A and B are shown apart, each in its own frame.
Chain A
Amino acid sequence: MKPELASSQMLVALPRATARRKAKFAKLGTLTLFLLPTAAVYTIFVLLPIAKAVYYSLYKWNGLGAPTDFSGMSNFLRVLGDTAFVNAFFHNIIILILSIVTQLPIAFGLALLVNRGIRGRTVFRLLFFLPYVLSEVITGVIWNFIYRPSGGLLNSILGNLIPGFTPIGWLGNQQTVLVALFLVITWKYFGLHFLLFLAALQNVPAELEEAASIDGATRRQTILHVILPLMGSTAVLSVYLSALGSLQIFDLVWVMTTGGPVGASETMATYMYKFGFQRFSIGYGSAVAVIIFVACLVLSLIYQRITMKRDLA
């Protein structure tokens, strides 16, 4: 690299120079050994597929042979012009908004409840977080049972509570399916947000709360003016994770409704699956994937903006 430097050193202290060069080689060796295997797997199976998605999205291609039928932006125009996709997109957005306005307050409220002055907090924590580790398939099937029109848990309970109640096919009804799904999403995922808020609450120094109560603040005032402002970064993170999850949701929807009835619970991911894998329109499906990706990217950029501003402030 720098021959004149190396040779001048060699004149003065030959053994030291070779030792240094040896060390340099050893370091290079370590770097290669430690980085290369991961880099290879990661590049081939994560980054290249993403790049390929962009590439395929420009072709009309059924996945056989090489893509040759270049079609420019036409896949994107067709996707965006399809009302079924636009509806699916709005379903994602509805889930996203519902998640943020209901799931997060519930999670925060329960975290506040469990954080202090309650017995059995370990048990409550264990229970509240449990659904998060269950698989989407198990969750979906169990809730399919709860929602089933005749003999399902929900209809049985409502039937006993409300006289003359006629059973509802929660998942088979275009009006109720999204809300029914959303309830399961909340059941399954609020535990993560609960956990994040609980961790943040534990970082609030007890002295702060004591000081507030000595100054005569009520519990409500303490929560509103002392604790809540300290939850900022956790709340932002929580909103971000929940939004990201809402944009990509597939498993639960597929297990419970496969996007039906008549597309009433279709999401971008189930739409992609139907076109990409069931009809093998790889180009078209890739265009959907790229659109999902762009939506997630925009979200990530907004998140980064907000957190960076917070860090600077």
Chain B
Amino acid sequence: MSAVSRVSYRTSKLISQTLKYVIAITASAIIIIPLIMAVLGGFKTNSDLQTNSYGLPTTFNFTNYTSILASSSFWQQLVNSTVIMFATSVGVVILSAMPAFVFARMSFRGRGLVFNYFTLGLLFPITVAMLPLYITLRDMQLIDSLWGIIIPQVAFGVPGSILILRNFFTAIPKELEEAAALDGCATVGFFWRILIPLARPSLAAVAVLTLVASWNAFFLPLLVLNNNALWTLPLGIMQYQGQFAQDWSKILAFVSLALIPTIILYLLAEKQIVAGLTAGAVKG
């Protein structure tokens, strides 16, 4: 390679390297700026927001945030969302780990058929089932009850989770089970004492994915929860947006506060979310 071409190779390398960072940073900015705008917007007054929609607040005005934090409805919605989220997650983990174990570890006649029955649900998005689901919940008197959200969310979360967990469970070596059997550990004992502790990372992945989905759910709560004492945060945000229509600084403060739990969960559990999604993506 001649000296000249080496230099031009180096400059072209430098250019492409710089371009890489420019693109990556621009993309990051497009993602993060709307969120920062929202948080800053919450500190502005409405007139400030009108003339100075991006840029720092002229004076930091805390009243939007403090008035929301002082209102009981915000905390009530936070509690409702949290209760639903954890109950759904526990339900999904238990009700999908058991069948996943059966499909990964036990052989019986018709196993394939039963497995297909359980995963058939992957074909049905909850949107499609919404109307009859509503009728079912109404007939069971689960309208305006947190159970009316938790149970259907568990039911719709189960098929995908069974698939993810079954793959993880199958990967646990057969020898472990044989050793356990020799030590007098029956099937159920093996499940509880050996498989579940070993499969903790995969259970965590399923749990976290369920937490996120439940926390963000909107359509089902919109239909089921009419009583505003039962509202979840997404419903609260919608109502707040309607109530304060043009009072954007208040709305942005509310949204920013609602963002915090999601971001904390994301930073704590990003690894599990990614693991679960990439494992679940094979489900098709």
B229 adjacent to chain A (CB < 8 Å): no
Bound CA span A151–B117, Å: 53
Interface string of A25-37 (1 = CB under 8 A from B): 0110011011101
Which A residues touch B158, using CB under 8 A?
A: 38, 41-42, 46
| Residues A50 and B128 in contact, CB atoms below 8 Å apart | yes
B247 to chain A, nearest CB (A): 12
The CA of A118 and the CA of B128, in the complex, are separated in Å by: 43
Question: B198: which A residues are within 8 A, CB to CB?
Answer: none
Q: How far is the CA of A34 from the CA of B32 in the complex (A)?
A: 45
Query: A175 on the interface (CB 8 Å rule)?
Result: no
Complex partner residue of A282 from B131, B238, B241, B273, CB under 8 angstroms: B131
A45 lies within 8 A of B54 (CB): no
The answer to whether residues A248 and B159 also contact, given A255-B238, A282-B135 and a CB cut-off of 8 A, is no
Task: Establish whether residues B262 and A35, one from each chain, have CB atoms under 8 Å apart when the complex forms.
Answer: no
CB contacts (< 8 Å) of B102 on chain A: these are 30-31, 34-35
What is the size, in residues, of chain A's interface with B at 8 Å between Cβ atoms?
89
CB–CB B125/A244 < 8 A: yes
B262 touches A289 (CB 8 A): no
Which of B21-29, B66-74, B166-174 has 4 or more CB atoms under 8 Å from chain A? B21-29
Interface status of A292 (Cβ within 8 A of chain B): yes
* Docked complex Cα distance between A129 and B34 (Å): 15
Interface assignment of A235: CB less than 8 Å from any CB of chain B: no
Q: Does B194 contact A (CB under 8 A)?
A: no
A10 close to B (CB within 8 Å): no
Contact bitstring B82-107, A, C-beta under 8 A = 1, else 0: 00000000000001101101100010
Contacts of A289 in B (CB 8 A): 127-132
Q: Is the CB of B50 within 8 A of A35?
A: no
Residue ID in chain B nearest A244 by CB atoms: B125
Query: What 0/1 readout, one digit per residue, does chain B (134-160) give for beta carbons within 8 Å of chain A?
Result: 111000000000000001101110110
Query: A292 touching B128 by the CB < 8 A rule?
Result: yes
Docked-complex contact A276 and B131, CB < 8 angstroms: yes
Q: Mark B190-205, 1 if CB is under 8 A from A, else 0.
A: 0000000000000000
A35 touches B38 (CB 8 A): no
Q: Which residue of A lies closest to B275 (CB)?
A: A199
In-complex Cβ contact of B53 among A39, A134, A137, A153 (8 A): A153
Partner pick for B129 among A30, A53, A251, CB 8 A cutoff: A53
Q: Of A38, A123, A127, which is in contact with the most chain B CB atoms at under 10 Å from its CB?
A: A38
Q: Mark B23-49, 1 if CB is under 8 A from A, else 0.
A: 110011011111101100100000001
B130 & A151 in contact (Cβ 8 Å cutoff) = no
Q: Is B56 an interface residue (CB 8 A)?
A: no
Q: Is the CB of A127 within 8 A of B28?
A: yes
Q: How far is the CA of A293 from the CA of B127 in the complex (A)?
A: 9
| CA gap between A255 and B219 in the complex, in Å | 10
Contact B223 A277 (CB under 8 A): yes
Contact A195/B54 with A45-B156, A50-B132, A145-B38 known, Cβ cut-off 8 Å? no
**Interface hits, B242-280 → A, CB 8 Å:** 248, 251-252, 255, 258-259, 262-263, 265-267, 270, 273-274, 277-278
CA of A255 to CA of B218, assembled, Å:
10
Choice from B21, B248, B263, B266 contacting A148 with Cβ under 8 Å: B248
Are A129 and B270 touching (Cβ within 8 A)?
A: yes
**Chain B CB within 8 A of A262 CB:** no
On whether the beta carbons of B51 and A151 are closer than 8 Å, the reply is: yes
Q: Is B284 an interface residue (CB 8 A)?
A: yes
Chain A: minimal CB distance from B35 (Å): 7
Contacting pair B284 A296 (CB below 8 A): no
A144 proximal to B (CB < 8 A): yes
On whether A47 and B120 interact (CB within 8 A), knowing A27-B106, A141-B251, A142-B35, the answer reads yes
Binding stretch for chain B, among A73-81, A204-212, A223-231, A299-307: A299-307
The answer to whether A135 touches B218 (Cβ under 8 A) is: yes
14 contacts between A and B (CB under 8 A): A30-B187, A38-B98, A63-B135, A109-B23, A137-B234, A138-B259, A141-B237, A142-B35, A151-B49, A152-B53, A237-B281, A244-B125, A250-B127, A276-B130
Q: What 7 new A-B contacts, CB under 8 Å, besides A126-B270, A248-B127, A293-B124? A: A37-B98, A49-B133, A53-B132, A156-B53, A199-B281, A254-B219, A277-B131
